[in-house]
Amino acid sequence: MPVTSAVVVGAGIAGLSTALSLAHHGIHADILEQAPQLGEVGAGLQLSPNASRVLQALGVLQDIEAHWRRPDYINLASGLSLKTLAAVPAGSFAENRWGAPYGVLHRSTLQQSLLSVVLKNPLIRLHLGTRIEDAGRKQLAELVGHSPDVVIGADGVWSRTRIMIPGAPEVSFSGNVAWRFTLPAKGGPGFLDPANVTAYLGPNCHLVAYPLREISGYNIVAISAGVSPGETWSATGTEAQKALLARAFAGWHPSLQSMIASAPALNYWPLFQAGPGQWHGGGDTVLVGDAAHAMMPFSAQGAAMAIEDGFDLAALLAHHPLQTALDRYQSLRQARAARVRQRGAFNKFVYHARGPIRMGRDLVLALRPPQSLASDLDWLYGYRAGEQV
């Protein structure tokens, strides 16, 4: 018998989009979220067509489109000279090629848009201020007033649901940290592109900048080697950590260095990743989003994978008995996440190249027309979640 009710632990991007995906198939969902309200955690996000297609189906994209920005290009530029090395077309090209738009927005815009659609859906109940320490049946049934058919752990990289699954992935610090800050467009550095996403590449680190309409400014993320402050999503950078950042970007173009040196309120994000393991343990509990596959942001796909997970899982749950659905979900989604991770590792190699490899990279990129760069991404951006039932 296909399932009719679920408990979803966590109301991040994974939890909210999974609950909406379940409701899309007529499945009831109770979302349990530890935070008393859904706030402003995070910074900018790039949303690629594979994710925006799902948001369109869930009735969320319409709201987002009023707030996000659609870049014309995703540029790769040298962090040393600021010269553009290559450009992947986005804008209407992305919509025509991959069937859905590419956009950049604040994470809270996405979360609030998902939330407003969740709150209007009679099949979903949201329980804020409800932290789950032990996602055991009895505790969950007491909280929601019935015994759900399936428990979905969407509780992020520090998931508590994961401990219910024998052989679940372990999470470890990647050795890399992300520094995030925003800058107002007015009076901001003149080299930043007000219409496009630009990844500035350099030896052992890179920096991504793009405009955010919601703040009339730019979102900046700098990624380099670093140390972990422990189990947290973000911490404010200490002076010593800021010195480490300045050292990582020493030798970069002076304009980039002075932008980093004068950045206000830097946030420091340790990057953790999940290893291999089971996403369901043969019972009725399953993981989605970062709880299952926290990954490095080198292909800007963590939130997109969470959105795809929920849509694929809901379609499978609606069409198959629970165990068949969970088995198929795990093999489908693990293969997809592995490919995205591989692409991220390739991007890291290309972005952080130095010496002769860097020169070779620049030559190859200069020779590749935008259409050919885009065709490398067909498998990623052209994916149609929910159709592999």
Ligand X SMILES: Cc1cc2nc3c(=O)[nH]c(=O)nc-3n(C[C@H](O)[C@H](O)[C@H](O)COP(=O)(O)OP(=O)(O)OC[C@H]3O[C@@H](n4cnc5c(N)ncnc54)[C@H](O)[C@@H]3O)c2cc1C
Please give the positions annotated as active site. 210
Residue among 289, 290, 293 nearest 278 (CA): 293
Contact 10, 155 (CB under 8 A): yes
Contact 57, 386 (CB under 8 A): yes
* 49-57 and 302-319 helices, crossing angle to 10°: 50
Smallest separation, CB 226 to ligand X (Å): 12
Nearer to ligand X, 14 or 94 (CB): 14
Smallest separation, CB 293 to ligand X (Å): 9
Contact 270, 96 (CB under 8 A): no
> What CA–CA distance (Å, rounded) separates 7 from 138?
12
User: DSSP letter at 89?
Assistant: E
Nearer to ligand X, 12 or 386 (CB): 12
Binding site residues, ligand X, CB under 6 A: 9-15, 32-35, 45-46, 131-132, 154-156, 160, 178, 180, 221, 269, 271, 289-290, 297, 300-304, 306
Nearer to ligand X, 32 or 350 (CB): 32
> What CA–CA distance (Å, rounded) separates 40 from 42?
6
Nearer to ligand X, 30 or 290 (CB): 290
Nearer to ligand X, 154 or 207 (CB): 154
* DSSP code string of 243-310: HHHHHHTTTS-HHHHHHHHT-SS-EEEEEEEE-S--SB-SSSEEE-THHHH---GGGS-HHHHHHHHH
Smallest separation, CB 71 to ligand X (Å): 12
> What CA–CA distance (Å, rounded) separates 197 from 178?
17
> What CA–CA distance (Å, rounded) separates 75 from 319?
41
Smallest separation, CB 131 to ligand X (Å): 4
Distances (CA, A) of 110 to 117, 131, 313: 11, 22, 20
Smallest separation, CB 363 to ligand X (Å): 28
Q: Please, which residues have CB within 8 angstroms of residue 246's CB and are 6 or more apart in sequence?
A: 257, 260, 261
Nearer to ligand X, 285 or 301 (CB): 301
Distances (CA, A) of 140 to 162, 285, 324: 15, 12, 23
Neighbours of 265 (CB within 10 A): 9
Smallest separation, CB 171 to ligand X (Å): 12
Smallest separation, CB 58 to ligand X (Å): 15
- Residue written as tokens 């107002």? 184
Contact 82, 34 (CB under 8 A): no
Nearer to ligand X, 107 or 384 (CB): 107
* 254-261 and 239-248 helices, crossing angle to 10°: 170
Q: Please, which residues have CB within 8 angstroms of residue 117's CB and are 6 or more apart in sequence?
A: 20, 58, 59, 60, 63
Nearer to ligand X, 8 or 325 (CB): 8
Smallest separation, CB 203 to ligand X (Å): 20
